[in-house]
Amino acid sequence: MSKPVILTGIRANNDLHLGNYFGALLPIISLAKEKAGDYQINLFVPDLHSFTTPIDHDQLYQGIMSSLKTFVAAGLPIDSSDVYIYRQSYIPAHSELTWILDCFTGMGEMQRMTQFKDKSNDLGADRISVGLFNYPVLMAADILLYGAKYVPVGEDQSQHLEFTRDIAERMNNQFGNIFQLPEPVKLQHALVGKDQGLRIKDLQDPTKKMSKSEASGKGAIFLNEDPAEARKKILSATTDSLGHITYDKQNQPGIANLLELLALVSGRELSEVISTYEGQSQYGPLKQELATKVSDLLESFQEKRMNVDENKLLSKLSQSEELMNLQAQETLFKVQQAVGLRK
């Protein structure tokens, strides 16, 4: 395995909505297809990360498998010899390296992490776990075990990637060259693109991005949703009372969101969709076309997901996890030697 590594995570649950689908899932799959051959593509399920905040543990394992099927249904090339899919918890080196890195990480570094601050604000004081506080160290282990050069992350994870570089440099300065550093954030964006697709907005509040946590449940459309229910959500989406269609995110955010979403689900250029509808005085035809396209997409996707060969998926997982264990253990052993745990 001498090729440079691109590493990214696959969500450990199956509640992906259209925003996730177009903004994260499809770009990951495109990256795997385009870069396989020149790179080793590591697509892992961060299942240990999944309960840094409260979840239903009875559903976790099934959620992991459902999520993997979702990626395969969306076109993940699991037949490629350069693509590896594996579960984080099946590679024990992730946990041990995290502990070692913990002992070289300062409390102040973790307290400055924006994600920790943001997520802590959403939880009561008694629900903030050490795991949530410690999350960036485990993420650093995920990256450094495989010498990943590129790690496609959103803006909210860029601070964690910089921490990964900092802790790797710290260890290298003290113990010698044991870690390969990932590229700086600026170069990461140069390879994979800073914008991982349009940020689809909430159907009920188009000033916010689509989210699974929206209280009414009417603002997001999920990949496993009944197409008929999705149609209803589109038809009841918030627009405005201006009575004309213009692509104006500032003054007509609801209409702009529907136009962008229609371009994505129909595979057309946004400019083409805008020219079709701009100037019309009725919003109904736009909503009707979008509702039909979304319904068709969900029906097709859900059929593909039902037909995923689970035995083939499990075989790929087993093969990948065996190889990733070897690769991760090689890095961990170097670290164990460096810190005095091994000869």
Is 212 known to be catalytic?
yes
Annotated active-site residue 334? The verdict is no
Cβ contact 201:253 at 8 Å: yes
From 33, 212, 249, 334, active-site residue = 212
Per the residue annotation, which of 33, 119, 249, 334 is the catalytic one?
119
From 3, 149, 186, 209, active-site residue: 209
d(CA 28, CA 286): 29
209 is catalytic: yes
What 3 state SS string does the chain have?
Answer: CCCCEEEEECCCCCCCEHHHHHHHHHHHHHHHHHHECCEEEEEEECCCHHHCCCCCHHHHHHHHHHHHHHHHHCCCCCCCCCEEEEEHHHCCHHHHHHHHHHCCCCHHHHHCCHHHHHHHHCCCHHHCCHHHHHHHHHHHHHHHCCCEEECCCCHHHHHHHHHHHHHHHHHHHHHCCCCCCCCCHHHHHHHHCCCCCCCCECCCCCCCECCCCCCCCCCCCECCCCHHHHHHHHHCCCCCCCCCCCCCCCCCHHHHHHHHHHHHHHCCCHHHHHHHHCCCCCCHHHHHHHHHHHHHHHHHHHHHHHCCCHHHHHHHHHHHHHHHHHHHHHHHHHHHHHCCCCC
Residues identified as active-site:
119, 209, 212
